[in-house]
Structure 1
Amino acid sequence: MNITDSRITTETPGRLSAADFGLLLLRVVFGGLLAAVGLQKLLGWFGGQGLAETGSMFEQIGYSPGVFFAAVAGALETLGGLLLLLGLFTPLACSIVVGVMINAMYVTWSGGLFGPTGYQTALLYATAAAVIACTGTGVLALDHGRPWQREGATWAVASILTGVVAAAGVLLLRALM
C-alpha cells in the first residue's frame, strides 16, 4: 500500500488500476451514448428524428421556440458526451450533462420512474455524470496530468451545482416564454 495525497491506494506506481479501466469503460459507453442521443436530435443520425421533428416535440412539451431548445439540448448532449468520452474538461462536461438531464427529468416526471415515458434514463445519466464528477476520470483521460485538470470534492460540488443552477435557469426561461 502507498500513502499519497492523504489517500491510501493499493495500486503499484506506474501501473494502471482496475478503477482506471472501469472509469474508461464508463466514460466511453456513457459519453458515446449521450453524444449519439444529441446527434439524433441535431442530425437525425442513429435513428433519430432530426432537428425539425425534435423541435416540434419540444414545442409540445413547453419549450418554445422548439427548434431553438432542441438545438441547444442536442448540442449540449453531443458536447457533454464527447467531452466525457475523451475525459476532457470533465467538470464542465459533468455540469452540462447534469443540467440537461434535470430538464429531461422535469418533462418526464409525470411518466413516473419506470413508465414508458418515465424519467429513469435521465436520472441514470445525471447520476453517472455526478459520479464521474466525484471520482474524476482516471489516468486514461485527456485531462489526466494536464495543467487544466480539475478534480476533487470542491470541483465535484461546483460542477454539480453549476448544472443544477443552469437547469433551473432553463426551466425559468421555459416558464417565461
Structure 2
Amino acid sequence: MKKILVLNLVLFIFLTACKKDDDTPITINTTLSATEQFNLFPTSDTGTSSFTKSFDIDLSNADTQAYINQIESIDITAITYKLSDFSGDITGTISGSIMYNDMLLTTFEDLVVSEAAADGTVFEIITPETFSAIEESLNTSENATITIDFTAENPNDMMNFNITLGINVSIVTNTI
C-alpha cells in the first residue's frame, strides 16, 4: 500500500511539473521604421518647392514576426525622425509638418537639412495624445501610414537626403 501511495505521489508531481503554461506573456521592445529618399531640385527660379511623402510603418519586423498573431497590446513609447545621407545645397531648408490621418504630430520650420543630417539629430515627436490612434491602426491592420508635407528652399543646388521615421513600441504577446 505504501508503494502505491509513493508511486501515485511521484506520478502526481511528475504530471504537475510538466504542465505547460499556455499564457506566458512576452514583452517585445522594438522600433518600427521606414525611410524615404528626397531628391530636390534648386528653387532659385521658383522660390520654394512642395513635397508630400507617405511612410508606411509595418508592424511585422524581425522582432515581431513570430508573435504577430498573438499580440495583446501595443504601446508607443516614442516617435522620432532623423535626416541622413545629405548631399547638395548646404544652405537649403525645409519647413512643414508630420501628420497621421488628420492629426498633427509635429511641425518644423527652417530646418537646415545639411546640419541636421551631419549632426545625426534625432527629433522626437512629443504628442502622446495622438499615439492611441496609431496604436489602434497597428493593432487592427498591422500598419500605419504617416505623411510628411514640407516646402523646401534650396536656391543654390540640388538637395538629396533621407528621412527615417521610427516608432518605438512595447508589444505584449502571448506564446502558445
| TM-score normalised by L of structure 1 | 0.26
Going by fraction, where is helix more abundant, 1 or 2? 1
Going by fraction, where is strand more abundant, 1 or 2? 2
Which fold has the larger relative contact order, with Cα–Cα distance below 8 Å and residues 6 or more apart in sequence?
2
Pair member with larger Rg: 2
| TM-score normalised by L of structure 2 | 0.26
